[in-house]
Amino acid sequence: MSQKINGVKGMNDLLPGEIEVWQFVESTARTLFGRFGYGEVRTPMVEDTALFVRSVGEETDIVGKEMYTFEDKGGRSLSLRPEGTAPAARAYIEHSVSNQEPVSRWFYMGPMFRYERMKTGRYRQFSQIGAEAYGAKEPAQDAELMDVVVQFLEALGLKDVTLNINSLGDDNCRPAYHAKLVEYLNAHREELCADCQQRLERNPLRVLDCKNEKCQAVAAAGPNVLEFLCEPCRAHFTDLQRKLGVLGIRYVVNHRLVRGLDYYTRTVFEFIASHPALGTASTVGGGGRYDKMMKGLGGPDVPAVGYAMGLDRLVLLLKEGGKTFTQRPDLFIAVADEGSQDEGLALASRLRREGLKVDFDTRGGSLKSQMKRADKSGARFTLVLGEQERTSGQAKLKPMAGGEPVPVALDNVAATVRAQPEAAAPVPAA
Ligand code: AMP
C-alpha cells in the first residue's frame, strides 16, 4: 500500500463545518472596516527577505528564528511573509500612494508563516486580519484604529478582552530609557531565564514581555518607560488617553507592554483575552505606531499606525461560545421513485436559482435512506417528490422540527418556504 502523506506540522486544514466560523469573522471584519473607510489590500505571500530584515528587525525572534526563508531558482532570497505590516508598507511605497492621497487606510487578511514552537493558539501557518493607517501622526488616528478593533470584537460578541496601551517614546527619548533598562537588567542578570539572558544582549526590550514568572518580577520593578518620555511623546500619549475617553473605550496603561517588533515608536497596544481556551496565547491582537518605518524602507516620510489580530485565536474563542455558524438547508428534496430522480434534480436546481439553500441526494436510493439523510442535514423542510406529486403539481413541506405538513404547489415552493415562520432548528442526528 502507498504511504499516506500528511499535512505540514503546524499548518491546519479548514473543512466545511469549521470554515463557517472563519467566514463569519472575515465577513464581520469586512463590514466593520468598510464602515471606517478602510480599503482591502492583498499582497503576495512571498517577499524579498530584506524587507523583513530591515523593518521587523534582524534581532527579533520573527526574523532571527522563525522565518521560512529560501532561495528561488534565480538565486534570490525570499521569505514567506511572517506578518502583514511590512508587505503593506512595501506596496504603499512601490505604488507611490502618498502622492495620490494624504491619508490612506488599508486592511488585509490572510495567512502568515512563522516557524514557531506549537501549542494551543500558536501555529506555523496562521491567519491575521490587520489594518494600517498612513499619513496621520495624530493620536486621534491611534484611537480610531483601536475603535475599529473594539467595534469588531463587539460585533463578534467577544467580551472579556482588555485593551492595554503604552508608549515607547521616539528616537529622542527612547535611548535614555534603553540605557537605563540595560543597566538595570544587567544588574539582575542572574535572576533572568536563559532566553532573557540572550535577549539582554540582542533585544533587551523583549525581556519585558517574557512569560517566565521570575523575569516578570524583575521587569515589574524595572525602570518605567513612561517616566522617560520627552514632552511631545508625553503629550501624544496623554491626548490618546483623552481620545479613548471621548470614544468610551476602556483601557489599562501597561508600561511593560513593548511588543516583539523593532519598528514601533510612541503608541503600542494589545488586546488581551482572559479565557482559559487560549492558554498562554492570550493576546488576540496588537499593534502600534511606526512613524519611521516608511523612510527606513526608502519611502516617503509618512507616519503610520497599524495592528494585526490572529484569526485562529478569535475562532478558538468563538467556538468556546458554543454558537453554531453553519447555515442549515431550507429544504431537502427526496425522491419516492427512480422515475422522479431527474425532476428532483431539476427542482433543486430551480429553487437554488430562486435563492433557497437546497439539499438533494444525487445518489438516489431508497426513500428511507434519503429521509435519514434529510434528518442529518438539519434542513427546515423535506419535500418528497413522487409520481403523484409530479402529475398533480402539488406536494407537501414536512417541517423537520415536527408539526403539520404544509401543502405546496410545485411552482411555488420558494415563496411558500420563505413564508413559513422559523421554528427551532431540528437537532441533526448524530
Ligand atoms: P504579532 O504580529 O506577533 O504581533 O501577532 C499579532 C497577532 O497574531 C497575535 O496577537 C496573535 O493573535 C496572532 N499570532 C501571532 N503569531 C501566531 C501564531 N504563531 N499562531 C497563531 N496566531 C498567531
Listed residues 320, 350, 379: the one ending a domain: 320
Q: Cite the annotated binding site for L-histidine by residue number.
A: 83-85, 114, 128, 132, 259, 263-264
List of residues 6+ apart from 391 with CB closer than 8 A: none
Indicate whether 66 belongs to any domain: yes
List of residues 6+ apart from 76 with CB closer than 8 A: 48
Output phi, psi for 139, to 5 deg. -60, -25
Cα within 13 Å of Cα(356), Cβ side: 25
List of residues 6+ apart from 356 with CB closer than 8 A: 330, 331, 413, 414, 417
Q: Please state the rounded mean pLDDT for residues 78-93.
A: 97
Choose one of 149, 312, 315, 317 to mutate for the ligand 1 pocket test, by most ligand atoms within 8 angstroms of C-beta. 312
Q: Please state the rounded mean pLDDT for residues 192-208.
A: 87
- The reply to whether ligand 1 has any atom less than 6 angstroms from the CB of 60 is no
Query: Is pLDDT of 413 > 60?
Result: yes
Q: Please state the rounded mean pLDDT for residues 351-379.
A: 96
Which regions of 17-145 does DSSP assign to beta strands (E)?
39-40, 46-48, 69-71, 77-80, 104-113, 125-134
Q: Please state the rounded mean pLDDT for residues 301-309.
A: 97
- The reply to whether ligand 1 has any atom less than 6 angstroms from the CB of 306 is no
Question: What CATH number is given to the structural domain containing 140?
Answer: 3.30.930.10
DSSP, res 288:
E
Q: Which atom of ligand 1 is nearest to the CA of 82?
A: 2
- The reply to whether ligand 1 has any atom less than 6 angstroms from the CB of 282 is no
- Residue 323: per-residue pLDDT: 82
Listed residues 271, 293, 320: the one ending a domain: 320
Indicate whether 350 belongs to any domain: yes
- The reply to whether ligand 1 has any atom less than 6 angstroms from the CB of 361 is no
Q: Binning pLDDT at 50, 70 and 90, where does residue 426 land?
A: very low
Strand order in the sheet with 125-134: 39-40, 104-113, 125-134, 304-310, 283-289, 267-273, 161-167, 252-253
Indicate whether 11 belongs to any domain: no
Structural domain tally of the chain? 2
- Tell me the C-alpha distance between 309 and 277, whole Å: 17
In this structure, are residues 380 and 423 in contact, taking their beta carbons and an 8 Å threshold?
Answer: yes
- Residue 423: per-residue pLDDT: 63
To the nearest whole number, what is the mean pLDDT of the chain?
93
Q: Binning pLDDT at 50, 70 and 90, where does residue 209 land?
A: confident
For residues 362 and 315, state if they share a domain.
no
Cα within 13 Å of Cα(341), Cβ side: 11
For residues 300 and 356, state if they share a domain.
no
pTM of the model: 0.90
CA angle 252, 228, 253 (to 5 degrees): 0
For residues 377 and 234, state if they share a domain.
no
Q: Binning pLDDT at 50, 70 and 90, where does residue 31 land?
A: very high
For residues 240 and 91, state if they share a domain.
yes
In this structure, are residues 151 and 254 in contact, taking their beta carbons and an 8 Å threshold?
Answer: no
Query: Is pLDDT of 45 > 80?
Result: yes
For residues 376 and 304, state if they share a domain.
no
Question: What CATH number is given to the structural domain containing 351?
Answer: 3.40.50.800
- Tell me the C-alpha distance between 169 and 235, whole Å: 11
Q: Which atom of ligand 1 is nearest to the CA of 123?
A: 20
Task: Give the residue whose CA is nearest to atom 18 of ligand 1.
Answer: 122
3-state helix, strand, coil in the chain (%, to 5): 45, 20, 35
What spacing in Å lies between the alpha carbon of 313 and ligand 1's midpoint? Answer: 8
Q: Which atom of ligand 1 is nearest to the CA of 83?
A: 2
Q: Binning pLDDT at 50, 70 and 90, where does residue 300 land?
A: very high
Q: Which atom of ligand 1 is nearest to the CA of 128?
A: 8
For residues 128 and 165, state if they share a domain.
yes
Strand order in the sheet with 358-360: 358-360, 331-335, 381-385, 394-399, 406-409
Listed residues 298, 320, 342: the one ending a domain: 320
Indicate whether 107 belongs to any domain: yes
For residues 63 and 160, state if they share a domain.
yes
Q: Which atom of ligand 1 is nearest to the CA of 116?
A: 19
Please report, for residues 55, 101, 261, 361, the alpha-carbon distance to residue 87 in angstroms, rounded to integers and kept in the order given: 10, 19, 15, 46
Indicate whether 151 belongs to any domain: yes
- The reply to whether ligand 1 has any atom less than 6 angstroms from the CB of 113 is no
What spacing in Å lies between the alpha carbon of 248 and ligand 1's midpoint? Answer: 27
Task: Give the residue whose CA is nearest to atom 15 of ligand 1.
Answer: 310
Query: Is pLDDT of 144 > 60?
Result: yes
C-alpha grid cell for residue 329?
438547508
For residues 282 and 237, state if they share a domain.
yes
Indicate whether 131 belongs to any domain: yes
Indicate whether 207 belongs to any domain: no
For residues 310 and 335, state if they share a domain.
no
Indicate whether 218 belongs to any domain: no
In this structure, are residues 170 and 291 in contact, taking their beta carbons and an 8 Å threshold?
Answer: yes
- The reply to whether ligand 1 has any atom less than 6 angstroms from the CB of 122 is yes
C-alpha grid cell for residue 349?
436546481
- The reply to whether ligand 1 has any atom less than 6 angstroms from the CB of 209 is no
Task: Give the residue whose CA is nearest to atom 14 of ligand 1.
Answer: 310
What spacing in Å lies between the alpha carbon of 223 and ligand 1's midpoint? Answer: 27
- Residue 79: per-residue pLDDT: 98
421 strand-pairing partners: none
- The reply to whether ligand 1 has any atom less than 6 angstroms from the CB of 313 is yes
Task: Give the residue whose CA is nearest to atom 12 of ligand 1.
Answer: 310
Q: Binning pLDDT at 50, 70 and 90, where does residue 260 land?
A: low
- The reply to whether ligand 1 has any atom less than 6 angstroms from the CB of 128 is yes
- Residue 121: per-residue pLDDT: 82
For residues 233 and 275, state if they share a domain.
yes
Q: Binning pLDDT at 50, 70 and 90, where does residue 429 land?
A: very low
Query: Is pLDDT of 322 > 90?
Result: no
Q: Which atom of ligand 1 is nearest to the CA of 118?
A: 19
For residues 92 and 27, state if they share a domain.
yes
Q: Please state the rounded mean pLDDT for residues 123-128.
A: 97
Please report, for residues 22, 27, 146, 172, 330, the alpha-carbon distance to residue 156 in angstroms, rounded to integers and kept in the order given: 11, 10, 15, 40, 25
Residues spanned by the domain of 35 = 19-173+229-320
- The reply to whether ligand 1 has any atom less than 6 angstroms from the CB of 312 is yes
For residues 80 and 130, state if they share a domain.
yes
